[in-house]
Amino acid sequence: MEGNKLVGELNEKFRNSSPEEVIGYFLKDFEGKTIFGTSLGAEDQVLTKMIADIDHGAYIFTLDTGRLFRETYDLLKKTMEKYTVKINIFFPDTSKVEEMVNKHGINLFYDSVENRELCCQIRKVEPSKRAFSGIDAWICGLRRDQSVTRFATQVVEWDDGNDLIKVNPIFKWTENQVWEYIIKNNIPYNLLHDKGYPSISCQPCTRAVKPGEDVRAGRWWWEEPEKKECGLHSSKEK
Ligand code: SF4
């Protein structure tokens, strides 16, 4: 696949398309080769509803890092039941987690950016690469205004790190649009959102934010904003 050429053509094709049209295209034209990766965040819950409306059998995956909130597991169960979709759960390699925590400590991520990136690599990036095996297109819920690391997001991008197309159907949506859609469609969402957590990842790396703070201020709050990506969406992998 000539990735960058195809991405350019698809961005032109989808210039005025709705998220549902973009999703529908990939589920049909890349049938069996498209995967949706959900973190069960607000944006991903929107996409789960859109995808389920089109194809209940779409290939969906999530990552269980072993450090998630109880509320996230509850939402995973509820979402699968409500939309009758199968969300395939990928886990990190046990031996790598054991080696990492025994060498660097159980909460190594607070000690340095390198340690945090190592933990994200083992608990998130490597399991996601297994999920991407044999896949050509990855649907995800990135939005431009989520953070400084995502302002240049396009509807379709080439993901060099995973050698596949990354599809961002709601890349132009604002946070308000996401929540209007969730409320209007009675979509289940993580109860932590009601307790001041706009962006939710692993429990030790996520905190509530104060009114007016950036939506990603509660993620890895001890790091500089430019560093705050887990490796799944880093710019060098676009
Ligand atoms: S978010 Fe935190 S606990 Fe989760 S994988 Fe990354 S560093 Fe590890």
pTM of the prediction? 0.90
Q: Between residues 212 and 133, which one has the greater pLDDT?
A: 133
More confident call, 221 vs 149: 221
Sorted by sequence, the CB contacts under 8 Å of residue 136 that are 6+ apart come out as: 1, 30, 33, 34, 164, 165
How long is the chain? 238
Q: How far is the CA of 192 from the centre of ligand 1 (A)?
A: 18
Which domains are seen in the chain, by residue range? 3-192 (3.40.50.620)
Q: If you average pLDDT over every residue of the chain, what do you get?
A: 91
Task: Indicate the top mutation candidate among 39, 67, 93, 112 to test ligand 1's pocket, ranked by most ligand atoms within 8 A of CB.
Answer: 67
How remote is the C-alpha of 76 from its chain's centroid? 14
Confidence of residue 222 (pLDDT cuts 50, 70, 90): confident
Res 235 pLDDT > 60: no
User: What average pLDDT score do residues 83-92 get?
Assistant: 98
Tally of helices (H runs) and strands (E runs) in the chain:
8, 6
At residue 227, does pLDDT exceed 70?
A: no
Does residue 219 sit in helix, strand or coil?
A: strand
CA distance 36 to 131: 10
Lowest-confidence segment of 46-55, 123-132, 151-160, 218-227 by average pLDDT = 218-227
pLDDT band at 76 (very low <50, low <70, confident <90, very high): very high
Concerning whether 140 is annotated as a catalytic residue, the answer is no
Which residues of the chain form beta strands (DSSP E)? 34-37, 59-63, 87-90, 137-139, 156-159, 164-167
What integer pLDDT is reported at residue 236 of this predicted model? 38
Is residue 98 classed as helix, strand or coil in its secondary structure? helix
